[in-house]
Amino acid sequence: METRLSAFRERWQTPGKLLIGGEWREAASGETFATEDPSTGDKLADVASAGEADVDAAVAAARKAFEGSWSKVKPDERARLINKLADLIEADGEALALTETLDVGRPIQFSRMIDVGGAVGQLRYQAGWATKIQGETNEISAPGEWLSYVLREPVGVVGQIVPWNFPLAMAAAKLGPALAAGCTVVLKPAEQTPLSTIRLAELALEAGFPEGVINMVTGFGRTAGAALAAHPDVDKIAFTGSTQTGRAIIEASKSNFKRISLELGGKSPTFIFADADLKKAIPAAAMGIFFNAGQVCAAGSRLFVQEDVADQVLEGIAGMARMLRVGQTLDPETMIGPLVSAQQLDRVTGYIESGRNEGASVLVGGGRKDGPGWFVEPTVLVDTEASMAVRREEIFGPVLVATRFSSADDADRLAALGNETEYGLNATIWTRDIGMAHRLARRLKSGSVRINGAGGVDPALPLGGYKASGWGRENGKAGIEAYTELKAVSVALD
């Protein structure tokens, strides 16, 4: 590990640059900004701070590639390049995992599994779609004889804005379908966690993508991100992040009616019934909110537990909260790392205090962990009401808000509880009553529902939400089609 740490420090003695048109360059302004290790608060590196001029150059490079060399690349070659990028990520996995751990604050074992493994899996899955994008023929009712068919074409130049919680995996999940569909990309990582995306861009060049196909700009959302969202020559924006920023992107994108995909916030419910397999449900519910210090859009941050087993379930989750090691991210025994920034720490602890002030009780946790870094204790709040901010709003931290329900509550009543927020991203149901499970799943306004199981994102399943959790879907067939346009062609044969 010391050898890899030394290599990391040496690599980042030089500020990170922007990738535009196949060339690495400084920001036009010459400005840089620092990124920090959330475990310590220490500076990790400086990276270029892109402005409007840099975004203009990146979009121009992407447009040139889209209308030029990339348009001539056949589907099987696009698939080969995407798979090559996956191979290079896998080969560089240890260095990438270390980069992600230091920049994001994720325990090293999860960086290996989720970030590196997830990025590789996403790209290999999406590469398979490059040769399977299909149009169709249609029999139409117009007089005469016609040949009518529908083409599915790449949407064009895509701006992709990646969140700070899973920068490598989310960049791969966005790049894969865009490239498979034949689009070109301007990729912008979050300013808090840009380092793994810079390395990803280096590997994309090594993989052999033509210049301008993948461009990468680091910078702040209010400058580089805003310029990308408003740019008149960008055909589509794909964004993952907060609902507040998503609303700003919608406004910025109005200028040219660009296509938009938004994967936004969540306040996802977990339902545990008295007949559930509690040996599975309790640890799953705990990790569903405490994994990655709760910084997951689909985290199960609201728990609804049937009153018959509520004490057992809550004590079980509280016990896990006490047991899970919170600490330095390079320690292989650590299960929960820090929050990403001091700002995020203030946000999360502020919500916990708000919950107390509104009448919620702290079952476990509730405070900041002593020492350097942005650590907060895994927390469970009970005695909550629907009117409380902690139960309505996304906290994005390791804070579980628990509520009991009665055995007399039916699927309609439980769905009303699940649907009580503006979000609708994910839900989890634990019960042996399969009829209840399906009835409740149908009534929940949620983009995905898991029954008697837990797990992360699978590239084969569409990911997205109802209501304020977003527009459109990523992954699966829906994800690839989001990067295409339909064109109907009709030819009169007589």
Whether the pLDDT of residue 58 is over 90: the answer is: yes
What local confidence, expressed as pLDDT, does residue 464 receive?
Answer: 97
Label residue 487 by pLDDT band (50, 70, 90): very high
Angle at 355 between CA 354 and CA 359, to 5 degrees: 115
Last residue of a domain, one of 265, 289, 316: 265
Last residue of a domain, one of 265, 298, 332: 265
What average pLDDT does the structure give for the chain? 97
What local confidence, expressed as pLDDT, does residue 3 receive?
Answer: 87
Whether the pLDDT of residue 1 is over 90: the answer is: no
- Whether residue 150 contacts residue 488, with contact meaning beta carbons closer than 8 Å, is answered with yes
In sequence order, which residues have a C-beta less than 8 Å from that of residue 150 and are 6 or more positions away?
A: 135, 136, 137, 138, 486, 487, 488, 489
Amino acid occupying residue 346: D
Catalytic residue among 297, 377, 394, 474: 297
Does a structural domain hold residue 482? no
What local confidence, expressed as pLDDT, does residue 293 receive?
Answer: 98
What local confidence, expressed as pLDDT, does residue 243 receive?
Answer: 95
Q: 130-161, pLDDT tens digit by residue?
A: 999 999 999 999 999 999 999 999 999 999 99
Looking at residues 112-124, what average pLDDT do you find? 98
Amino acid occupying residue 319: G
Task: Examine the domain organization and report whether 136 and 17 are in the same domain.
Answer: yes
Label residue 181 by pLDDT band (50, 70, 90): very high
Percent of the chain with pLDDT over 90: 97
pTM summary value:
0.96
What local confidence, expressed as pLDDT, does residue 486 receive?
Answer: 98
Q: 239-261, pLDDT tens digit by residue?
A: 999 999 999 999 999 889 999 99
**Cβ atoms within 10 Å, residue 452:** 16
Label residue 171 by pLDDT band (50, 70, 90): very high
Dihedral in degrees, nearest 10, Cα atoms 368, 163, 242, 392: -40
How far is the C-alpha of 456 from the C-alpha of 165, rounded, in Å? 14
Q: What CATH code is carried by the domain that includes residue 260?
A: 3.40.605.10
Task: Examine the domain organization and report whether 250 and 297 are in the same domain.
Answer: no
Whether the pLDDT of residue 106 is over 90: the answer is: yes
> What is the DSSP-derived secondary structure letter of residue 94?
H
Whether the pLDDT of residue 480 is over 90: the answer is: yes
Task: Examine the domain organization and report whether 276 and 171 are in the same domain.
Answer: no
Whether the pLDDT of residue 425 is over 90: the answer is: yes
| Domain encompassing residue 113 | 2-265
Whether the pLDDT of residue 371 is over 90: the answer is: no
Task: Examine the domain organization and report whether 432 and 388 are in the same domain.
Answer: yes
Looking at residues 215-233, what average pLDDT do you find? 98
Task: Examine the domain organization and report whether 166 and 138 are in the same domain.
Answer: yes
Total number of domains in the chain: 2
What local confidence, expressed as pLDDT, does residue 2 receive?
Answer: 82
Looking at residues 390-414, what average pLDDT do you find? 97
Active-site residue 183, yes or no?
no
Write down the H helix ranges in 12-92: 52-67, 75-91
Whether the pLDDT of residue 455 is over 90: the answer is: no
Does a structural domain hold residue 476? no
Catalytic residue among 263, 377, 474, 481: 263
Looking at residues 376-405, what average pLDDT do you find? 98
> What pairing do the DSSP bridges indicate for beta strands 448-451 and 146-154?
unpaired
Q: 273-322, pLDDT tens digit by residue?
A: 999 999 999 999 999 999 999 999 999 999 999 999 999 999 999 999 99
Looking at residues 188-216, what average pLDDT do you find? 98
- DSSP collapsed to 3 states, 410-461: CHHHHHHHHCCCCEECEEEEECCCHHHHHHHHHHCCCCEEEECCCCCCCCCC
Distances (CA, A) of 68 to 50, 196, 223, 259, 484: 25, 29, 29, 22, 18
